[in-house]
Amino acid sequence: MAAAALAAAGAFNPAEAMSGLISVPHGADAMPAEDTVKELMAVAINTARSAGASYSDVRIGRYRNSIVFTRERQIVQTADTDSIGAGIRALVDGTWGFGATKVLTKDGVAAAAREAVAIAKANRIARDQPVVLAPTQAYPNATWKSAFKIDPFTIPIEERADLLLKANAEAMKVKGVRFVNSGLLFIKEDRSFASTEGSVIQQTIVRTAVPFNITAVAPDNSDFQSRTNVVAPAGRGWEYVLEQDLVGNAAKWAGEAVEKLGAKSVDVGRYDLVLHPTHLWLTIHESIAHPTELDRAMGYEANYAGTSFVAPPRDVLGKLKYGPSFMNIQGDRSQPGACATIGYDDEGVKPEEFMIIKDGVVNDYQTTREQANWIKWWYDSKGRPTRSHGCSNADNWSSVQFQRMPNVSLLPGEKDISWDDIISATDRGIAIVGDGSFSIDQQRYNAQFGGQVFYEIKGGKIVGMLKDVAYQMRTPDFWNSMDMIGGKSSYFLGGAFNDGKGQPGQSNAVSHGCVPSRFRNINVINTGRKA
Amino acid sequence: MSGENRRREPRRLIGSSEAMMPAGALMTREQCEALVKKIVSFSKADEISVNVNSGYQTDVRFAANQMSTSGAIMTGGIGVQSTIGKKHAVATTNDLSDESLRATVQKSEELARLSPDDPENMPGLPLQTYLPVNGYFESTANLTPDARAQAALTALAPARKAGDLTAAGFIQVNANAGALGNSKGLFAYNRSTNTNYTLTVRTTDGTGSGWAAAEHPDWTKINFAEVADRAITKARLSRNPVAIEPGRYTVILEPQAVGDLVQLIGGSLGARQADEGRSAFAKQGGGNKIGEKIVDERVTIFSDPQDPQLLGQPFDGQGLPLARQVWVEKGVLKQLFYSRFWAQKQGKPVTGGPSTIKMEGGTTSLEDMIKSTERGILVTRLWYLRPVDPRTILFTGLTRDGTFLVENGKISKSVKNFRFNESPLFLLNNLQAMGPPVRLAGTEQGGPIVMPPIKAKDFNFTSLSDAV
């Protein structure tokens, strides 16, 4: 069933949004026993090999979601979804095929493996260059578990609902607040992987999101303002929810929504921007992390997500000055609690930390096994091995794995500068907290970002709240205007669960660490247009 | 490859049958009905509603003139919602063994018992009557991988031969069958197919990019060669764009660009949002804007599962029948979306949640719009639209894959892409002309969408983009 174009769900009505959830096909009640999974995986890759595949891998996965959504004083929906199945990839004469099935029997996975091979064979008539995989080590008996302490799936629904309703009540006590939508979304993935190169890997991943949206409405309905995105999603468990102190913080967030109603509408012009890490992570995501995906740079996303201005690799690696010399951007899947953190990627590669931008200059791309060979010349010239950075990922057993974003983070500066230090050092500017509206072109040049809360800075002090603020930027100009950067103690992990890419579209969870930073002379527009 | 030739292509029943839709991949009405009955019999709750889905999705992806990933995915499963008093919860599975079905029903009952009461809970619907819609085509359901690879070649071959072009495209072919039922006797079944094709052709000098697309439930209605021609022509025409000042321009928007912006009105059509004072259709002082003129009087926007260009599912996710529903008629807001709860509370008829949208068009062709324009911008499509101000449905986004300056009735040059900050309501108030509506293929939100090309004045381009 197609997603409702007109179902009027929107951000304001999770009840109606969630009515679609029941139509999503999901899986069985329990993953087959470990030995059964290994046996099925062996059947899949052996069948693919017998049918003519030079390489094959299989992922058998169980993907569970558990959600509670509330509004104001009531529950909206609770749901547990469970999806299990197998996805098999086959390489025949350098051409890919993929087959996925929910039928977890030997016959079922064998049929999907044969289908993957049949598709690969059919596609040979349209092949140009064969796919060649960079080498990786085999991990014949590997396991990994993400950094959660308390499995959120063990927390009773009533306890989750109670926490949300208490937080809602605190927000509703604030005069002017009329609506609160809140929720808890937990994800648990049991992923098994095997390849014809000898890897057999089992991993468990837990992630947590806490959507929270408070809306204040003017008494005469002439204006409404929201405060949302108050808690970053994380690769952690129930302990992360408790650390957020939703009940204790709700009134503060609610107060910000109300204050926005009376905030001054911004005067357009150029300002120095002081960006809080709860905001800056999204700017990094859009304007650095996406354009340094190698498949984008090589045109493989041209028909959907787009290409990249960080291209072609020969013109930019070691040459393109992205920002100031103190700008260092790291790719990794290793930060504990980050959303893209994992032990082994979806083609069995153990990810490594790598510097995408080093001392302000483009130094590397995000890669998979297929892609690493595309820039072998660069690694050779630097005496570095040509291997995947471990960025292969699929969002479900039914999706084919491809290059997805690791955690991409702005490393702290050497001096221990804080948010307050940067405000104090700014004469005329706007401080932006929280992520809001975001839009960027298909090569990642021109972007426009809103935010959650905006403060006017005059003479080193915050003098009041602003609204209707958005800034427009050209990526290389923007990052080269960065002149102050926070230190280690101001580091924060922001992120998202729903980064879209690929055809068919897939969703990726990713975190971005960063520090408060200042950008000089940025174009600010007023978005409060009436006609 | 013409449609005629494709229809004459012999079906390969031997040899690659394992790569065609596996037998039983789609559930029949009878299978769905029996499954719903079985699941209902396992229920100990006051009420249970059941959703059944089965599907077979295949695709071919190519980029940089190479084949990329291609796959076939057999999915399916059930979801149940158990209701106990005013408590309810959902659980899903795709293991259809009796043991798993029982466990899933029990899980939803356990979750429901632990949940707080939902004061807005509505009882399940009884049996409904639905309009007949045939959106299922054997030509689409029974394709071979060879047919899909051949279709990809219709773009790859000319792009490779040209030497100065690279093609990136995606062909997705879906067949789905699903049903809804409950313990009150509701049963609804629908079967559908779809072919969606999008193609981007770029020039190897990196200065030109052209996009074209087609979508139809019937594979034989897609003219792959024609899509390739359009994308190639546009890529070449868009080479070496020049920068012109951003500002307010007369625009000629191709149907895709119209749909990219106009479909976003759908997100604000909830009656509840409006009545609660938090939508563009909230009335100052209270209530909503139904009955008020909101856009140009030539604009009519509706949903209709039986429209031959739409062929949507004739019921929504709760089993409510869907028929023609006019949202905007001759510029006046005629209706907002009423959920069952909100309709009851406000004493209004329930509308159902449709998955189709169509804007009626006019008779001015795109060519005539260009001819009548002294100075304006021709836009192929819009990209990365994100809300900026929900009070006015103001969105930002960019033009993409073919943006041209029109001067003195002719396309004079390719221009750099623009960022815009614009509302579909403002756009449709500035309407000058409309052409015949066509089915879109590039929608970011999914669902059948049909839109006309339009010409409008004073479109707000706010900055330039260097992106090609």
For residue B95, which residues of chain A lie inside 8 Å, CB to CB? 27-29, 84, 102
Q: Are the beta carbons of B281 and A224 closer than 8 angstroms? A: no
Residue A32, pLDDT score: 80
Find the mean pLDDT for residues B89-106.
94
Higher pLDDT, B20 or A204: A204
> Degrees (nearest 5) of the Cα angle B101, B105, B111?
140
Question: What residues of chain A score a pLDDT lower than 70?
Answer: 1-30
Respond yes or no on whether the N-terminal peptide bond of residue A504 is cis (omega within 30° of 0): yes
Find the mean pLDDT for residues B85-92.
96
Type of residue found at A189: E
Q: DSSP letter string over B308-338? A: TTT---SB-TT--B---EEEEETTEE---B-
- Its pTM surpasses 0.80: yes
Sheet of A407-410: strand order equals: A361-362, A354-358, A329-332, A407-410
Q: Do B94 and A84 touch (CB under 8 A)?
A: yes
Q: Per the structure block, which two tokens stand in for A67?
A: 């959600």
Residues 6 or more apart from A80 whose CB is under 8 A from it?
A: A64, A65, A66, A67, B89, B90, B91, B92, B107, B108, B111
For residue B318, which residues of chain A lie inside 8 Å, CB to CB? 19
**pLDDT single digits (tens) A52-89:** 999 999 999 999 999 999 999 999 999 999 999 999 99
Strands A264-265 and A461-467: parallel
Place B22 in a pLDDT band, splitting at 50, 70 and 90.
confident
Q: Per the structure block, which two tokens stand in for A477?
A: 């100009």
According to DSSP, residue B216 is labeled E
Distance CA B217, CA B307 (A): 13
Q: Are the beta carbons of B147 and B15 closer than 8 angstroms? A: no
Cβ within 8 Å of B, A 395-434: 398, 400, 402
Question: In Å, how far are A531, B160, B404 from B363, measured between CA atoms?
Answer: 28, 38, 22
Q: Do B398 and A81 touch (CB under 8 A)?
A: no
**HSE-up of residue A147 (Cα within 13 Å, Cβ side):** 14
Question: Does A93 touch chain B if contact means CB atoms closer than 8 Å?
Answer: no
Residue A352, pLDDT score: 94
Respond yes or no on whether the N-terminal peptide bond of residue A25 is cis (omega within 30° of 0): no
Higher pLDDT, A393 or B18: A393
Distance CA A343, CA B398 (A): 38
**HSE-up of residue A425 (Cα within 13 Å, Cβ side):** 17
Place B409 in a pLDDT band, splitting at 50, 70 and 90.
very high
Question: Does A468 touch chain B if contact means CB atoms closer than 8 Å?
Answer: yes
* Helix or strand holding residue B273 (H, E): helix B271-275
Q: Are the beta carbons of B422 and B394 closer than 8 angstroms? A: yes
Residue B391, pLDDT score: 92
Distance CA A287, CA A76 (A): 36
From the list A2, A115, A223, the residue facing B72 with the nearest CB is A115
According to DSSP, residue B277 is labeled T
Distance CA A472, CA A447 (A): 6
Cβ within 8 Å of A, B 174-233: 176, 178, 190, 194, 198-200, 202, 209, 211
- The minimum CA-CA distance between B117 and chain A, rounded to whole Å, is 7
> Does residue B130 carry a pLDDT above 80?
yes
Name the packing angle between helices A157-172 and B98-114 (round to 10°): 40
Convert B255-279 to b/e letters by CB count within 10 Å (16 or more is b). Answer: bbbbbbbbbbbbbbbbbbbbbbbbb
For residue B68, which residues of chain A lie inside 8 Å, CB to CB? 96, 300
Residue B24, pLDDT score: 84
Residue B20, pLDDT score: 77
Q: Do A25 and B55 touch (CB under 8 A)?
A: yes
Q: Are the beta carbons of B266 and B236 closer than 8 angstroms? A: no
Q: Do A528 and B389 touch (CB under 8 A)?
A: yes
Sheet of B357-359: strand order equals: B332-333, B325-329, B301-303, B357-359, B449-451, B438-439
- To which residue do tokens 């749901």 refer? A79
Q: Per the structure block, which two tokens stand in for B63?
A: 């980029």
Residue B445, pLDDT score: 63
Type of residue found at B119: P
Cβ within 8 Å of A, B 432-451: 443, 445-449
Question: Does B170 touch chain A if contact means CB atoms closer than 8 Å?
Answer: yes
- State phi, psi for A411 to the nearest 5 degrees: -75, 145
Question: Does A141 touch chain B if contact means CB atoms closer than 8 Å?
Answer: no
- State phi, psi for A47 to the nearest 5 degrees: -65, -45
**pLDDT single digits (tens) B428-446:** 999 999 999 999 998 766 6
Cβ within 8 Å of B, A 211-250: 215, 217, 220-224
Q: Are the beta carbons of B176 and B33 closer than 8 angstroms? A: no
Distance CA B288, CA A146 (A): 48
Place B91 in a pLDDT band, splitting at 50, 70 and 90.
very high
Strand, helix or coil at A316? helix
- To which residue do tokens 């899949």 refer? A44
Question: Does A77 touch chain B if contact means CB atoms closer than 8 Å?
Answer: yes
Q: Do B145 and A119 touch (CB under 8 A)?
A: yes
Question: Does A74 touch chain B if contact means CB atoms closer than 8 Å?
Answer: yes
| H helix count then E strand count, chain A | 13, 26
User: In this structure, how many other beta carbons lie within 10 angstroms of the beta carbon of residue B113?
Assistant: 15
Q: Which of A1, A6, A84 to mutate to test the interface with B (most CBs of B within 10 A)?
A: A6
Q: Are the beta carbons of B25 and B156 closer than 8 angstroms? A: no
From the list A83, A101, A299, the residue facing B202 with the nearest CB is A299
Q: Per the structure block, which two tokens stand in for A414?
A: 């050497």
Mean pLDDT of chain B: 93
Residue A20, pLDDT score: 34
Question: Does B273 touch chain A if contact means CB atoms closer than 8 Å?
Answer: yes
**pLDDT single digits (tens) B318-365:** 999 999 999 999 999 999 999 999 999 999 999 988 889 999 999 999
Type of residue found at B307: D
Strand, helix or coil at B387? strand
